[in-house]
Amino acid sequence: MSTSGTTAFNLDLSNLVEEAFERCGSQLRSGYDLKTARRSLNLLTIEWANRGINLWTIEQGQVNLVTGQSLYPIDSDTIDLLDTVVRQNNGSSSNQIDINISRISESTYSTIPNKLTTGRPIQVWINRQTSQINATSVVLSTSISSTATSITVSDATQLASGGFIKIGTETIGYANIVGNTLTNCYRGQNGTVAASHTAGDAVSIQNLNSINVWPTPDAGGAPYTFIYWRMRRLQDAGNGTTEQDIPFRLLPCMVAGLAFYIGQKIPEAQPRLQFLKSEYEEQWLMASTEDREKASVRFVPRTLFYA
């Protein structure tokens, strides 16, 4: 007998959910069963992000650094940045240089005496936020043009001392607040377009994932490009006909995990719950052990000598 000759097996959402229900000793009977399974599946993928690095979600990205600007938004579906460099002469065929930029904590960044010192960035604080937009009672006190770098609002006490606001469709970054005036403003951030705004326009807080680089980029080595490798969120479960945002080798783990999640919600699965949990953990162990870097690791100790 001949083999199939194909290696395309996968499960769309409906078949994945049916398999999970059958492992619970039940069946997918209604639209609500599919709805609750989709909700559980989305929670499951979030749990996977908390368990560690998922190699298939690692992507490379870049931020073009601007002279005099220290704060930059990054993609809202970013979970964390894994590795970062500052690149000079980005795209040059013969003179491109990548230089390591060290990641620092919020507490370390906060103790830098002068955050507006200029030079080639050597440190970065990664601020992991929710990307939610929070409404406030703050409004513009005066009209601003599309190029204004200082913005006066009615009550700056409702805003963080540095971050992002949204006025209309424009996202604006700012580094400092003096009284009720936002200073060192960076216009048209997060893919938006700088525009003029009128006194009385509403000002919202936009909690964006962002990087704070130090020193603030100067013009000496421009253009600088911040290159990063990020771990992104898994895509949502979908509408019932789509496949999941995972490699085929993770399908057994996803089915086992979804069966355990569903089993916690249906009475007929309670006798199997401990088995479903142990099966899920076994499948996760196998999947996570396989989904790892297989390159050699070299550790070089740093030796300090004191005279």
pLDDT in tens, 69-97: 999 999 999 999 999 999 998 877 778 89
Name the stretches of the chain with pLDDT < 50.
none
User: What is the per-residue pLDDT for 221?
Assistant: 67
Q: What separation in angstroms does the CA of 47 have from each of 159, 252, 258, 291?
A: 32, 16, 11, 16
Cβ atoms < 10 Å from Cβ of 164: 23
Whether a cis peptide bond, with omega within 30° of 0, leads into 215 is: yes
Cβ 45 vs Cβ 221: under 8 Å: no
How many helices, marked H, and strands, marked E, lie in the chain? 5, 16
User: What is the per-residue pLDDT for 44?
Assistant: 97
User: What is the per-residue pLDDT for 304?
Assistant: 65
Whether a cis peptide bond, with omega within 30° of 0, leads into 121 is: no
How far the first Cα of the chain sits from its last, in Å, is: 78
Percent helix, strand, coil in the chain, to 5, is: 25, 30, 45
Q: Cα–Cα distance between 72 and 4 in angstroms, integer? A: 51
Which residues are paired to 197 by β-bridges? 144
User: What is the per-residue pLDDT for 27?
Assistant: 93
Which residues, at least 6 apart from 106, have a Cβ–Cβ distance to it below 8 Å? 125, 127
User: What is the per-residue pLDDT for 48?
Assistant: 95
Q: Cα–Cα distance between 58 and 114 in angstroms, integer? A: 34
To 10 degrees, the CA torsion angle through 261, 251, 243, 230? 90
pTM for the full model? 0.88
User: What is the per-residue pLDDT for 307?
Assistant: 61
